[in-house]
Chains A and B, each alone.
Chain A
Amino acid sequence: MTTLTDPPKAGFRLSQLIYDTRYRSITIQTIAMILLLFGLYWLVNNTIQNLSALGKDFDFGFLSQPAGYDINQRLVEYSSQSTHGRAAIVGILNTILIAVLGCALATVLGVIAGVLRLSKNWVINSLMAVYVEGFRNVPLLLWIIAIFALMTEGTPAPREFRVGGDAAMILNESVAVTNRGVYIPGIVLENGWAASSFMNWLIIAAVFVASLFVIRTVRKRADAVQEKTGDRPTTWYQQLALLIIPTGIVMFLMGATMQYPSLKGFNFADGIHLRNSLIALWLALSLYTGAFIAEIVRAGILAISKGQTEAASALGLRPTRTMNLVILPQAMRVIVPPLISQFLNLTKNSSLAIAVGYMDVRSTLGGITINQTGRELEGMLLMAAFYLVLSLAISGVMNVYNNRTQLKER
């Protein structure tokens, strides 16, 4: 008879930490953790030591000190007596402005160029190829500076617009293209409800967005009726009315009037001044990112099987409708994720604004404020935090959209 004996119980040996698969991963993770903590400790300690060696402290108090400098493009009230914090907000709004404008124009350009690049017309598709390759393969900074130089050197100075000068305003005397930017007619609110014009415009925007929501319910109701009866009620006049009337009424009540730019003293006054720095940055960012988006759109369209196009033509859909109703909605699933990255790129690339003196957050908080107060560490951390939040917000919004257009898998 044999007796079953337990295998001899070996004691725990140190080598098991490396050679025994049960312990190995824990060993590696512990070592990695310790290294990470050491690294972190070294960084923080080094920063503290060097700050004290320089005799500096870590303090955000400078944000409430008067800034002392002026900013040309400001979406909210600001003067040189405002605080550094306020200057940072002005810069942040300018960054958001250029990001929104840039993303919008880049998307339009990108979709058009991407679709046209697949055109069967040789002239059109090679023109688009030239655009895409030209912009994609030249550094963005060069484009920004080139467009800025073109605008500065190639357009007349405001004094040329005086009587007897060489230049004239265009579009029925309402738009002036000068070497300081483009002056266009603006709308002023003569008796707004809120104290600042920024708040007034926010109210108008809110009303506009609200009417968009109402329009959506009108459309949904029309869809429901169509589902039920097969006939779609005519709603375009309701939609149009909803789009214009509420916003129009609010603006009328606020006393909105058109103001045309006119030459006064050294410069044009009134109207809206689109500075060269804004235009150069906007165009360069949009054209550059648009080239990337064009390729993404093209890839998205090519990803849709040819059978879809053929099926659509078999049903008698014209090519335009095939593209809009069949191909693009499906292509969006392929397009949106890389599109998010492009939007993020554009937003972060907007920090090149300093090259043409556009006063974004890099120029105000990250430039002049740091320079005047000597708070490099604080300023850079704040700026990094801002770009992080902005990027996460953009990708958050785009991910919501992505989730809605995704294939619903059940």
Chain B
Amino acid sequence: MNKSVLLGALTVAGLAAGAAGAATLDDVKARGTLNCAVSTGLTGFAAPDANGVWDGFDVGFCRAVAAAVLGDPMAVEFVPTTGQTRFTALASGEVDLLARNTTWTFSRDVDLKFTFVGTNYYDGQGFMVPRELGVSSAKDLDGATICIQTGTTTELNLADYFRVNNISYEPVPIETNAEAQQQYLAGACDVYTTDASGLAATRATFEAPGDHVLLPEIVSKEPLGPLVRHGDNEWGDIVRWTLNALISAEELGVTSANVEELSAGTNNPEINRMLGSEGELGAMLGLEADWAKNAILAGGNYGELFEKNIGENTPIGLARGLNAQWTDGGLIYSPPFR
């Protein structure tokens, strides 16, 4: 009995770990699709539309990587994950890439053995409360019931924030954003806390968004970014430079509308190197010369993705803020293509 349980557990662990460590690029090419882990549904970042086609800011990045590697932005198998299942899915090799508003932290990078390829959204943790409660600051939340997604950094930040400010709270652990929304709207919790972008996205789907306020306190730094497993640096490079290509494209004025034209050759050598009309950057990554062009064609450059999915003209209405290009006073900055 004892032995068989141990065996069972070892089998599961063994099989789960089986796929890790191989050359991811070859696997993806052989499979013909990219397996990309996204959230179970967060409007603007990753959610299936009315036709069941995934769409959003994180989804757009998955599509850009698929376009860079396979030349087809639709060749993506989306794997919805919760805060708790995402890391196991990536570590076990079930997915090649995790793009699920995941905060870059020391322990995830070092101890959980993941490689964060960059930051695609600079965020911070906020609080949302119903306007009728009349709360104006997070410091007034003593004794409040707070809905929180388990397995996230917000859970830890929340514990720290309330301990440091010496106030108490009652956590209500939740698995997915949809559940949190239902509990919050039913009044089973007074407050919903997660990344401010997630709060804005959630509030945008409410019937009466105006009845809910985001408190002014941002209690943490949450640099969100895509990540891959440790141990396959070539694959990590591909994902990292796809992100950088999208960012550089915005900086250099390359959009999905003009990329076709620009890829024939321009008098800006950096654009030429990136889009493959000069040098061999694509071959160095093990990809086609037009990898970056395909990535940009998939859903546009970084700015286009932002504006289309979560920007000020969408229901979510997030301002660029910290996520503006460095040339506009933001933190979005790509190393040069050289």
| A-to-B contact residues, CB < 8 Å | 39-40, 43-44, 46-47, 50-51, 53-56, 68-72, 79-81, 152-153, 157, 159, 179-180, 264-267, 269, 276, 354-355, 357, 359, 363, 367-368, 370-374, 376-377, 380-381, 384-385, 388
Is residue B107 within 8 Å, beta carbon to beta carbon, of the partner chain?
Answer: yes
**Closest Cβ of chain A: how far from B334's Cβ, in Å?**
28
User: Knowing A50-B14, A72-B170, A371-B151 touch, does A354 contact B231 (C-beta < 8 A)?
Assistant: no
Contacts of A40 in B (CB 8 A): 7
20 other contacts beyond A53-B231, A72-B173, A371-B150, with CB at 8 A cut-off?
Answer: A39-B7, A47-B13, A47-B14, A47-B17, A50-B17, A50-B20, A50-B21, A68-B155, A68-B156, A72-B170, A72-B172, A157-B187, A265-B142, A266-B141, A266-B190, A368-B150, A374-B91, A376-B16, A380-B9, A380-B12
In the complex, are the beta carbons of A46 and B14 less than 8 A apart?
yes
CA distance A380 to B9 in the complex (A): 7
Contacts of A55 in B (CB 8 A): 113, 230-231
With both beta carbons as reference points, the residue of chain B lying nearest to A62 in the complex is identified as B111
Contacts of A53 in B (CB 8 A): 17, 20-21, 231
Contacts of A43 in B (CB 8 A): 7, 10-11, 14
Is residue B174 within 8 Å, beta carbon to beta carbon, of the partner chain?
Answer: yes
In the complex, are the beta carbons of B186 and A152 less than 8 A apart?
yes
In the complex, are the beta carbons of A377 and B150 less than 8 A apart?
no
CA distance A79 to B151 in the complex (A): 17
With both beta carbons as reference points, the residue of chain B lying nearest to A179 in the complex is identified as B188
One of B56-64, B81-89, B251-259, B290-298 contacting the partner: B81-89
In the complex, are the beta carbons of A363 and B173 less than 8 A apart?
yes
In the complex, are the beta carbons of A47 and B156 less than 8 A apart?
no
In the complex, are the beta carbons of A354 and B175 less than 8 A apart?
yes
**Closest Cβ of chain B: how far from A8's Cβ, in Å?**
47
With both beta carbons as reference points, the residue of chain A lying nearest to B172 in the complex is identified as A357
User: Which residues 228-252 of B have a CB within 8 angstroms of A?
Assistant: 229-231
User: Knowing A44-B10, A54-B113, A180-B145 touch, does A372 contact B17 (C-beta < 8 A)?
Assistant: no
CA distance A354 to B160 in the complex (A): 23
User: Which residues 194-247 of B have a CB within 8 angstroms of A?
Assistant: 229-231
CA distance A304 to B162 in the complex (A): 62
With both beta carbons as reference points, the residue of chain A lying nearest to B158 in the complex is identified as A70
Looking at B6, B14, B159, which has the most chain A CB atoms within 10 Å of its CB?
B14
In the complex, are the beta carbons of B159 and A80 less than 8 A apart?
yes
In the complex, are the beta carbons of B10 and A47 less than 8 A apart?
yes
Q: DSSP class of A's interface residues: helix, strand, loop or mixed?
A: helix
CA distance A50 to B16 in the complex (A): 9
In the complex, are the beta carbons of A153 and B112 less than 8 A apart?
no
Contacts of A367 in B (CB 8 A): 84, 150-151
Is residue B143 within 8 Å, beta carbon to beta carbon, of the partner chain?
Answer: yes
In the complex, are the beta carbons of A371 and B84 less than 8 A apart?
yes
In the complex, are the beta carbons of B144 and A54 less than 8 A apart?
no
Is residue B330 within 8 Å, beta carbon to beta carbon, of the partner chain?
Answer: no
Contact of A357 among B1, B91, B142, B175 (CB under 8 A): B175
**Closest Cβ of chain B: how far from A298's Cβ, in Å?**
31
User: Which residues 47-93 of B have a CB within 8 angstroms of A?
Assistant: 83-84, 87-88, 91
**Closest Cβ of chain B: how far from A102's Cβ, in Å?**
20
User: Which residues 100-145 of B have a CB within 8 angstroms of A?
Assistant: 107, 111-113, 133, 141-145
With both beta carbons as reference points, the residue of chain B lying nearest to A39 in the complex is identified as B7
In the complex, are the beta carbons of B87 and A374 less than 8 A apart?
yes
User: Knowing A50-B21, A53-B17, A371-B151 touch, does A80 contact B160 (C-beta < 8 A)?
Assistant: yes
**Closest Cβ of chain B: how far from A55's Cβ, in Å?**
5
Listed A/B pairs (16) with beta-carbon separation below 8 Å: A53-B17, A54-B231, A152-B186, A180-B145, A265-B142, A266-B133, A354-B175, A355-B175, A367-B84, A370-B84, A371-B84, A372-B107, A374-B87, A376-B91, A380-B13, A381-B9
Is residue B29 within 8 Å, beta carbon to beta carbon, of the partner chain?
Answer: no
6 nearest CB pairs, A to B: A50-B17, A157-B187, A80-B159, A53-B21, A371-B151, A374-B112
Contacts of A374 in B (CB 8 A): 87, 91, 107, 111-113
Contacts of B141 in A (CB 8 A): 266
In the complex, are the beta carbons of A267 and B150 less than 8 A apart?
no
Is residue B265 within 8 Å, beta carbon to beta carbon, of the partner chain?
Answer: no
In the complex, are the beta carbons of A69 and B186 less than 8 A apart?
no
Contacts of A153 in B (CB 8 A): 186
With both beta carbons as reference points, the residue of chain B lying nearest to A366 in the complex is identified as B84
**Closest Cβ of chain B: how far from A263's Cβ, in Å?**
11
CA distance A363 to B155 in the complex (A): 13
In the complex, are the beta carbons of A54 and B21 less than 8 A apart?
yes
In the complex, are the beta carbons of A69 and B13 less than 8 A apart?
no
Is residue B30 within 8 Å, beta carbon to beta carbon, of the partner chain?
Answer: no
